[in-house]
Each structure stands twice: as structure tokens, then as C-alpha cells.
Amino acid sequence: MDKIVKTLDLAEEGQEEFQIANVDSPAIEMHWEMFDNVLKFQGMPKGLVMGYAMIPNLEIPRLDESGEIWYAKFTKETVKNCFENFFKRGLMRNVNDMHQTGDLIEGAFTAGGFLVDKEIGLVPPSQFPAIEGAWFHILRVDNPEHEQDIITKLRNGFSVEGNFEVVDEEVKDESLIEAVRKIILNQK
């Protein structure tokens, strides 16, 4: 069976509708950490949530209109462009719940973030893997209801919203990949 991988990029520069959604099942399969009065990291205040927003070259399963699976992928350059667009445009209050675009969470805002760059020492706290070129996001939540959703794990990660376009598409022959995998495993 073939695997379709579509590389996505921002459809246009300067997107104002770009948002970060707090979700229950992040497509990047990386959960965040919350720091409160019990668990502190270098004196961070209560209500601070951090984790990955985007990871370059990660193949994220998606469904098309007909229910067929395809995989979205963002290059390291696209992750950088998204990160820069978000901060250049001052979109730090553009935080919604479960992709309710435009319905922003009162009392939630981006407190910081960075692109992981091991060479210059920009790496996340030790409980996260250091993924080169990934967008590490820091959110402050001063909303008791939403904070409770985070504490009880009803929300546990970020999802980036924006207008993206396909800039490249490749079809991988999964049967060939599986055959090579079996050969390699049998040689061990």
C-alpha cells in the first residue's frame, strides 16, 4: 500500500488568523507539562504550560474528504516561518480550545517560545527530547476553568492552526519499505 506524504507551507505570509489550539490529542503526539505550586521548574509561576507546537519532518496522519489517510509534514524552514509569523504579528493571545477558531480563551496567552537549536543552547527542559528546529511553546493560563482542564488532562497539548498549502507530494511504496525492514530484521 502506498503512503502519501504532503509537505505543507504557509499559504501566505503575514497570517493574522494564525492560532494555537489547546487540544486533548495533539497530532504531533507530544504532550505538554504544567508547572504549578507543587512542581516548579526554575521558579516558573503557577499556570505555565509548555511543550512542542510544531516538529519538523514529522509525518502527521490526516484524513481527506473521502476518508483516505494521508500524512502532513512541515519542513524545518516552514516551522521557522510559522514561529516567526506568530511572534512578528503579535498573536500571543490567539489561543483557542479544541480548534474553536476565533473563540479565544480568556486569560490564556503565549508567554514565550523558541526554535530548538542545540548548537546555541536553546533546548527545552530535560523532560522533553531536544528536537532540532522544533517550535517549543510556553503558554500562561490564568483561567481557572481552562486550568482545570489541563490539570485533569482533558487538554494535554498544542495544535497549530493556519492556512497551509501543499508544496510537495510524494508517494512512498510501503510494501517495499516493509520488505526492506523484514530483510534488515532477519539479518540481526
Instruction: Note the pLDDT of residue 29.
Output: 77
Could you tell me the end-to-end alpha-carbon distance of the chain, in angstroms, rounded to an integer? 26
The string of pLDDT tens digits covering residues 96-149 is 999 998 899 999 999 999 999 999 999 998 889 999 999 999 999 888 888 888
Instruction: Note the pLDDT of residue 82.
Output: 92
Phi, psi of 80, rounded to the nearest 5 degrees: -60, -45
Domain of residue 143, residue span:
2-186
Question: Which alpha helices (H) appear in 51-173, and where do they start and end?
Answer: 76-88, 144-151
Instruction: Note the pLDDT of residue 127.
Output: 85
Greater model confidence, 151 or 41: 151
- For the chain, the 3-state helix, strand and coil shares in percent, each to the nearest 5, are 20, 35, 45
Instruction: Note the pLDDT of residue 187.
Output: 61
Average pLDDT over residues 141-164: 87
- Tell me: pLDDT of 38 over 60: no
CA distances 137 to 2, 100, 172, Å, are 34, 19, 32
**How far, in Å, CA of 98 to CA of 125, rounded?**
26
Element (H, E) at 171: strand 164-173
Phi, psi of 148, rounded to the nearest 5 degrees: -65, -40
The total domain count for the chain is 1
* Vertex 132 angle, CA 52 and 147, to 5°: 10
Cβ atoms within 10 Å of 77's Cβ, excluding its own? 11
